[in-house]
Structure formats: C-alpha cells, structure tokens
C-alpha cells in the first residue's frame, strides 16, 4: 500500500500541541514517557543520529502528537517512506492530520512489526526510531518489542531510542549487542538520552 497520491506535503511545519500531549499523558500515562512533547533540539539530535536524509525506509514507534514525525518528514528524501506505529487511539487520531504521500499512520503494537510491514508492503527499514518508554513496559513486552526491532531491521540498519531512563539498554544490549552510542540532550524537558544500535 502506498501513502496516498500527490507530492509530499511538509508545509504543515512543527505543529506539536503541548495541551494535546498532556491530555494523552493523562489518558494513558504508561504509554507516554513525558508530560510535554520533544523539543526541537532533541528532534534535531535524533535526525543527526539517524542519518535520516539518506534513509529510504523509516519506522517510528510511539510518535505521540506527531511533532517528531513532521520533523522526520522534513529531513527525509522525496522517495523515502515513513511508517508510524502508535498504540494509543488518541495519538493515532492526531496523526491523521499529516497529509504526506510518503507517510503511513498505523494503529497497533510494535510487537507486530513484521505483520505491519507486510500490510503496507514495506521492505525492512533502514532506520527504526522509538519514543516508546521502555522503563514503563512490562519486561516480557519490552523484550518482544526488542526482538521485533532486531528481526525486522535491515542489515546494517540503525535502531534509535530516545529515553528518559536507562532501562532500554538493559533490554536491547542482549539482543542487538552493546549500543554504539548514547548522547544526552539537555535542551529538553526532561533531558533525554539518545541511544543508537546497528543491526549486526
């Protein structure tokens, strides 16, 4: 399936809605890692670590209100594809405002990544970016998501996770190997760690 017809539309700009994000946090606090959206500084750091301008297939896990999603689309090539997977119906509905032919907005669980990629006829992604708060997930669910990421990421691909806490390393390192890098973005509330793994 493709994302629609017409030229990519990235003119909508940065439309992060802090009030909507906070409402989402109140509705489903276990699925949201912060009470406010990511800062533009954090978004730029994720773009740099992900090397998005050269990526062809990108998956975003837990896009929230779509501020990061819009930023990613602005930095991706005209022939690239972005698939977001959001577990919260509230946030999924907000993402429907993004009208870009390169973008697919899916309501579901990251654990089902293989099936979701198949549904959209999308090859293994070069980059998977996750804002899912691993620190709030049951251990078994976190392991299933980690395995889904590793199994479906293209060889040599990157998995990027931006997290407030360190639990993600304990989940991912045994599956993908010791993380290649971890940087701290202080210009975000709260400060966020940006982890990067490469598919071996």
Share of the chain above pLDDT 70, in %: 82
- In this predicted structure, the answer to whether residue 161 has a pLDDT above a threshold of 90 is yes
Given a contact cutoff of 8 angstroms between Cβ atoms, the answer to whether 97 and 29 are in contact is no
Domains annotated for the chain, with CATH where assigned, are: 18-198 (3.40.50.150)
pLDDT (tens digit per residue) in 43-97: 999 999 999 999 999 999 999 889 999 999 999 999 999 999 999 999 999 999 9
- In this predicted structure, the answer to whether residue 33 has a pLDDT above a threshold of 80 is no
- pTM, to two decimals: 0.84
| Burial letters 88-120, b for 16+ CB under 10 A, else e | bebbbebbeebebebbbbbeebbbbbeebbeee
Radius of gyration of the chain (CA): 15
Q: Which pLDDT score, from 0 to 100, does residue 46 have?
A: 97
Give the sign of the dihedral formed by CA 165, CA 66, CA 172, CA 51: negative
Cα distance between residue 108 and residue 200, in whole Å:
27
35's tokens = 């009470």
């Amino acid at each position: 399936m493709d994302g629609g017809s017409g030229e990519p539309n990235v003119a909508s700009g940065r439309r992060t809605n802090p009030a909507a994000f906070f409402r989402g946090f109140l509705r489903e606090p276990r699925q949201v890692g912060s009470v406010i959206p990511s800062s533009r500084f954090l978004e730029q750091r994720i773009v740099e670590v992900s090397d998005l301008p050269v990526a062809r297939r990108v998956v975003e896990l837990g896009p929230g209100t779509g501020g990061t999603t819009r930023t990613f689309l602005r930095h991706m090539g005209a022939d690239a594809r972005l698939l977001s997977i959001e577990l919260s119906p509230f946030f999924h509905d907000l993402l429907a405002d993004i009208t870009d032919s390169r973008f697919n907005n899916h309501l579901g669980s990251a654990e089902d990544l293989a099936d979701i990629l198949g549904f959209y006829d999308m090859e293994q992604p070069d980059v998977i970016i996750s804002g899912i708060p691993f620190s709030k997930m049951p251990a078994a669910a976190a392991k299933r998501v980690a395995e889904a990421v590793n199994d479906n990421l293209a060889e040599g691909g990157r998995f990027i996770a931006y997290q407030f806490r360190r639990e993600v390393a304990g989940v991912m390192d045994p599956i993908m190997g010791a993380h290649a890098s971890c940087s701290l973005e202080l210009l975000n509330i709260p400060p966020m760690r940006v982890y990067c793994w490469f598919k071996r």
